[in-house]
A and B are shown apart, each in its own frame.
Chain A
Amino acid sequence: MGNKRDLMPGTLDLLILTTLARAPLHGYGIALAIKRLSDEVLTVEEGSLYPALQRLLLRGWVKAEWKTSETKRRARYYTLTAAGRKQLGIELSQYEQLIAAIGRVLQNT
């Protein structure tokens, strides 16, 4: 767990939305997916994940429903909504602009 990195500010929403774009997942699943996909570099703290999910729910970008999980337990699955998909597009392009800008700064040094 030593190589844990803090997330860049503002990217957690983007990561959650991206993860959910593939398939509906429960909270633990989202955290696990981000961890695996980033080759264990990025760890999402429970303390930020659940408030973030609430925020997304409030904005109407995801919706939540109770389903039975792969372990036969009741779990809360989050699904991307149409508005969430649109938002994902916006956030992605914003992120790319940001990265490109940072890249330009780095190249010039």
Chain B
Amino acid sequence: MEPLTFFFHKLQMLFRRGRFTEEFAEEMAFHREQVERELREEGMSPDDAQYTALRRIGNETQLREQAHDLLRFRAEGIFHDLQYAFRQLRKNPAHTATVIMILALGIGATTAIFSAVNPILFQPLPYPLAGQIVMIWERHSDGSPWFVNFGTFHGIEERTGSFEAVAALKPWQPTMVGAARPERFEGQRVSAGYFRVLGASPVLGRDFVPADDLHNGPRVVVLSDEVWRRCFARDPSIIGQSMKLDGDLFTVIGVMPAGFENVLAPTAELWAPLQYDPALPTDSREWGHHLRMVGRLRPAITREQATAELDAILHTVGQLYAKGYNESGGTPAGTQLNSLHSEMTHDVRPALLAVLGAVGLVLLIACVNVTNLLLARSVQRHGEFAIRVALGASRIRLTRQLLTESLVLALIGGALGLIVARLGVHALLALVPPGLPRMNAIAVDGAVYTFALGMTAIVGIAVGLVPAVQSNNCHFNRALHQSARVIGGRHHALRRTLVVAEVALALVLLVSAGLLLRSLQRLFSVDPGFDASHLLTMQVQESGHYYDSDANRLLFFKNAREAVQAVPGVIAADFTGQLPLSGDYDVYGVQFESNPTGEEGGFRYAVTPDYIQTMRIPLRRGRLLGERDTIGAPTAVLISESLARRKFGDRDPTGTRVRLGPDVGHSDRPWATIVGVVGNVRQQSLALAPEDAFYVPITQWPWADEVLSLVVRTQGDAAALAPSIRDAIWSVDKDQPVVRVATMESLLAVSEAKRRFTLIVLEAFALVGLVLAATGIYGILSGSVAERTREIGIRSALGASQRAILGLVLRQGMMLAAIGIVIGLIGAALASRALVTLLFGISCVDPLTYLGVVTLLLAVAAIACWLPASRAARIDPAITLRAE
């Protein structure tokens, strides 16, 4: 019962505080009167009695405080600290605003980056037991992973016991014809187990069943929520209805939920069964290595166990279907299993970690800067602290007060930081490289709020601790007698250390940004192998059964090309099977007559004859393709310089013969003739060395592609011609989709988007770091100049020249910068190693970058030093000394 009474009494007192003070005063007054009376009765004079009574009772305020302390709730102390903190912060609005702004930027930037990085790197994929999902690759004898073919997938699916489900998948881009414009969807062809592997199921209708995934089976489709909304207005009776895709009627059997995230193909909007032939006829698409494979491991089965089992299965299957494998590159050595999460994040991990590291440095610089500002402020407040200690405040109480103040600052900074973070996330989303996994999961959510709060607390304590400890080490008795500037000295040692730290951290950031900048410059000075200016590109696709015949396909592309060439402003237009730097990846085998047992691989460009001229790819030897290289004529091939050099050295390969793609290894197939050698073209990325390639007329390839890319060389602005070129194609057949319209220059830029993204973020952070470091130097120097006004006045009165005084202050500041730079160089050398995978063409200790950054930092430091130094030099000794 007692604690309860205690609590109620306290509670009562909380609301009767005013009355308590009055009553206490009255009680004391009564007591004093009684004592006075007693003293007078003992024979003292009234005045003496009054005085003695006062002395006996002592400090009434302290007495009341003591009584108060007993009655007070612990939380009330915090409340008072808060009140006091707010009063302090209001007292010096400029200081408060600066600190809050720096903290808001630091916390905001860190939170924004965290919210982008968290779902990608740290959170599990959005599937139940996502850790069980793995990607399965064929492993070749040289250890490199390969896409699986249907033979491998089918063999594994029939035999494996390690997986709850496995699935094969490939991209599918069906076109829906009907409305004014044809709409091409991004979709996937998947085997029946796909959604079970992911652990997702339709919200409407049903999942695929094995009976859907039969060769020549029923045409069924599962829709994404987005397609259901966009094309069917969320019609609840959609199940069982049909939609016409590529000229065929597909029955809708299911709709995936809105929250379903398809990390394997984030843009996919519909899914249809794979429907490959389990009879596995040799020499068919079933044997092409073009499928991706995923599987969900059974609980308690490790990746190693599963790999061992799959390797054994592959061995059996390899023997069973030796012919099929031999005609498609041989039986793989085994399988390789990677967790789906690492597969998804592997590419972007270095860039994201670099950005995360950079923002960590920015936060660190911001904290150092704020600590410095708080330290400066606490030196000014020493008088106040001394008085509070003299009045009986304990040191713990003072520490608590200072920490409360810094926490309040951090909390306001953190709250504003969340606004900064929201803006930052918007900016990041506009910047992120395409292909960043889980982009739609990037949001300022609960995890982010928790992170921001945690960070705010840590920052609040971190920046408050140094000034608090520092104040406690101070001798307040002395402080009471002296002015702030005399005790400043010791604090300056600490503040100088902090400025050195800031410079060092800024240098690390600047070097990282500098290295990336130089890499990107190098990359963009790489010759892609063709002329990218005034070049418009787009993908043209044929859809519908009319185009089932090769002749009709070729005719359409021929007519479309002619129509585009007739558009005013078009210099030339040609089709190609794949477009450089667009993400296309189309590799086929090449068998040279000179070495019939060896097989090479090369990028296959099935092109209309003038493609090489239109792209302005240089001809090195022989002749280009021409109109005569067409159906009926012997197949003519151009090979890339790299392939020619590797196979023929300095000899001329023209006139020698090769078998290409499906003909490789088939002695009954005719040979094609190499008619020329052309320059290397960067197909995948500017950073990847030129890869082997061959060019063949579309009319001479064994089949006609249904998707080709159009490249258009224009006179003026390439982008401006896009609408008229599209209309020209639709004038031939209005139902054929035209997609992926982009200028070659933008494709070039996008192909390096990952580096560019990292660069922009790092540059921004480096700039912030530089500014903060400069203000740090400026702050400490102007502080020290203000405090040394008298000394400087005496110096100049004694004959020191303005130049000497300028030098004095400059030296002091530049010394700090120099020490910071030396430490920062060591840090940068270590940090830049983490950037290695993002660098191109330069070493991570690129001297030019380091030199440039050091120069920049010195220049900025010099400006930051110059302002206070010139103020010092202008000090008039007469005025200073008179002021004393």
Residues on A facing B (Cβ under 8 Å) = 26-28, 32, 46-47, 50-51, 54-55, 57-60, 66, 69, 71, 73-76
How distant is A33 from chain B, measured CB to nearest CB, in Å? 12
Set of chain A residues within 8 Å of B58, measured between Cβ atoms: 46-47
Please report the C-alpha to C-alpha distance between residue A27 and residue B29 in the assembled complex, in whole angstroms: 11
What 4 new A-B contacts, CB under 8 Å, besides A28-B31, A58-B6? A58-B5, A59-B2, A59-B5, A66-B23
Contact A74 B30 (CB under 8 A): yes
Q: List 16 A-B contacts (CB under 8 A).
A: A26-B30, A46-B58, A47-B62, A50-B27, A50-B63, A51-B63, A54-B70, A54-B71, A59-B6, A60-B2, A60-B5, A66-B23, A71-B37, A73-B30, A73-B33, A76-B23
Contact B27 A58 (CB under 8 A): no
- The secondary structure that dominates the B interface is helix
Please report the number of residue pairs spanning A and B whose Cβ atoms sit closer than 8 angstroms. Answer: 62
Interface string of B69-88 (1 = CB under 8 A from A): 01100000000000000000
Is the CB of B248 closer than 8 A to any CB of chain A?
no
Set of chain B residues within 8 Å of A47, measured between Cβ atoms: 58, 62-63, 66
Please report the C-alpha to C-alpha distance between residue A57 and residue B31 in the assembled complex, in whole angstroms: 18
Contact A74 B63 (CB under 8 A): no
Set of chain A residues within 8 Å of B6, measured between Cβ atoms: 58-60
Is the CB of B551 closer than 8 A to any CB of chain A?
no
Interface string of B32-43 (1 = CB under 8 A from A): 011101000000
Is the CB of B10 closer than 8 A to any CB of chain A?
yes
In B8-60, the 8 Å CB interface with A consists of 9-10, 23-24, 26-28, 30-31, 33-35, 37, 56-58
Contact A28 B67 (CB under 8 A): no
Q: Which 10 A-B pairs have the closest CB atoms?
A: A28-B34, A60-B5, A54-B67, A28-B31, A46-B57, A51-B66, A58-B9, A76-B27, A75-B30, A54-B70
Contact B30 A28 (CB under 8 A): yes
Please report the C-alpha to C-alpha distance between residue A74 and residue B30 in the assembled complex, in whole angstroms: 8
Set of chain B residues within 8 Å of A32, measured between Cβ atoms: 34
Set of chain A residues within 8 Å of B67, measured between Cβ atoms: 50-51, 54
Contact B56 A55 (CB under 8 A): no
Set of chain A residues within 8 Å of B34, measured between Cβ atoms: 28, 32, 71
How distant is A84 from chain B, measured CB to nearest CB, in Å? 12
How distant is B76 from chain A, measured CB to nearest CB, in Å? 15
Q: Of all chain B residues, which has the CB nearest A28?
A: B34
Please report the C-alpha to C-alpha distance between residue A32 and residue B30 in the assembled complex, in whole angstroms: 14
Set of chain B residues within 8 Å of A59, measured between Cβ atoms: 2, 5-6
Contact A46 B56 (CB under 8 A): yes
Please report the C-alpha to C-alpha distance between residue A51 and residue B355 in the assembled complex, in whole angstroms: 60
Q: Of all chain A residues, which has the CB nearest B20?
A: A54
In B819-857, the 8 Å CB interface with A consists of none
Please report the C-alpha to C-alpha distance between residue A27 and residue B37 in the assembled complex, in whole angstroms: 15
Set of chain B residues within 8 Å of A73, measured between Cβ atoms: 30, 33
Contact B30 A58 (CB under 8 A): no
Contact pick for A27, options B2, B31, B70, CB 8 Å: B31
Set of chain A residues within 8 Å of B62, measured between Cβ atoms: 47
Set of chain A residues within 8 Å of B33, measured between Cβ atoms: 73
Whether A28 touches B2, Cβ cut-off 8 Å, given contacts A51-B66, A51-B67, A54-B71, is no
